[in-house]
Copies of this chain bind each other. A is one copy, B any other.
Amino acid sequence: MKTFEPLNVGGMTLPNRIMVPAMVTRLSGEDGLVNQDIVDRYVRYAQGEVGLIVVEAMAVHHAKAGPLLRISDNAFIPGLADLVRRIHDTSDSKVVPQIIHFLKISKSGWRQTVDMLSIEDIDRIVEEFGDAVARAREAGFDGAELHSAHAYTLSSFMSRTNPRKDEYGGHTLETRLRLIGRIVENVRRKAGHDFPVGIRYNATEFIKDGYTVNDAKVIGLRLAELGAAYLSLSVGGKFEDAVHVPGHVPYPYTGFSGDRCMPGDWYPPVTNAHYAVAIKTHLRAHGYDTPVAATGKISDPDDVERLVSSGQVDIVGIARGLLADPDWPKKVRNDERERIVRCDYCNVCKHLDGTHMRVICSLWPQGTLQAPTDDRSAAAPQWESAGAALTATAQTGSVLLKWSKAAGAARYDVYRCDELGNVSFIDAVKVTRWEDKEILAGHRYQYFVRPYAATGAGSARSNTVDVVLPVAPGSAPRASVAEAVS
């Protein structure tokens, strides 16, 4: 598989094409120091042998922000150096920190915007980024990633909604790009031209008057010219459409742009990759081979392979899927996909991040702070002697599935088969019931469930049940599907 071919990214060699994009863990304290929980979280990804680990955003400055890593002072270097050493001691995974600057925001909903910054403030930000990346190099990181996506300072300058009127203003594309240009130049001066620096930015903003992939293609070209080691594409995640809960600091993933940034279970898979593909195509047409990473609800190994083997993108970022199971790369490479703990995109992790609680995956065993270790000697769950006894009951507009417990099961994966024979994994649950609210009356659906131990071992699937919801009187479809197909 192309997925497992190495890739040269600005001088560092990724062992494969899988990346953990930056995910805030809320495991650090307000002191911004690396602690044991942080080390454990990232070493766990290295154990899974992912190609590139992007450590969660760490701030270039000291502004208040709840639990968040910092790289704003040399005092943070030893902790970061220890983190890097532990990762490098574990596997060939490469590791870079995501470097962030953000503006002030309050519980009242007020927030500082880029037009409130003086030229001195901007000059300071330029220096802070340079210093931060130099510290990253000092700490032994393989490179660094500048965070120019979502709701944060660099992205706000790049935005079409940037309200400034000066040489950093939103009135032209070049002025929107001036700050990132100065920062990259300063980073190179302070951290060296040979230190790989990637940039994460939005492929489209998904807000009113926000920029679209039209601009993102040209922005990508400029970033490639600036010598970006890679471009990691995200979307949305803006304050402009965030839902403000009175008394809480606005969280930029609560509006529609947040839905699109971390698409939930009702979104199609691979929702945003076509934007990254368009940007890669544009770069290539202009003679640039800068590696491009696509992200956004991607976790099926076939989708990943299709994206990289076709050359549409070079790297695939898997955030929630690797949180659920950091061993995803190893399991796919070893052809053990059946053992993967599959993310069901319930977004409990997103909710925890938004409320500043320690981020875990709801599929992990209760009370644990890290993904369980894959235990290959552990027994698979066992259905009771009566078997799964899966039943389906038609309700008004939904089907209720119930089944027996399997001894040793930590969760059950629920599968649905449509009348064309397409089998889909549709949810992962810890209880023994599940309701399907997304089906059409008059159509035949089949379901089965499969129990899994916390450590990865799956057992035999349950019996399969068939169900057809009766069509409501007075709205009878004209033809049944059987008639239509024949």
Contacts and interface: CB of A to CB of B under 8 A. Distances in A.
Given A286-B484, A485-B287, A175 B474 contact: no
A255 to B, nearest CB: 5
A258 to B, nearest CB: 8
Interface stretch (A83-91, A97-105, A204-212, A355-363): A204-212
Contacts of A259: 208-209
A477 B475 CA distance: 63
Nearest to A469: B174
A481 B286 contact: yes
Interface residues of A, number: 71
B398 A172 contact: yes
Interface stretch (A214-222, A328-336, A381-389, A455-463): A214-222
A433 interface: no
A160 B225 CA distance: 44
| This protein's copies in its complex | 2
Interface string A230-270: 00000000000101000000000011111100000011100
B213 A475 contact: no
Interface of A: 160, 167, 171-175, 177-178, 180-182, 184-185, 206-215, 218, 221-222, 224-227, 241, 243, 254-259, 266-268, 271, 274, 285-288, 396-398, 419-420, 437-442, 469, 472, 474-479, 481, 484-486
29 contacts: A172-B398, A173-B397, A173-B438, A173-B439, A174-B469, A174-B472, A178-B472, A178-B475, A180-B475, A181-B472, A181-B475, A184-B475, A208-B241, A208-B255, A209-B259, A212-B266, A212-B267, A212-B268, A212-B271, A214-B267, A214-B268, A218-B438, A221-B440, A225-B484, A226-B477, A286-B419, A287-B484, A287-B486, A288-B484
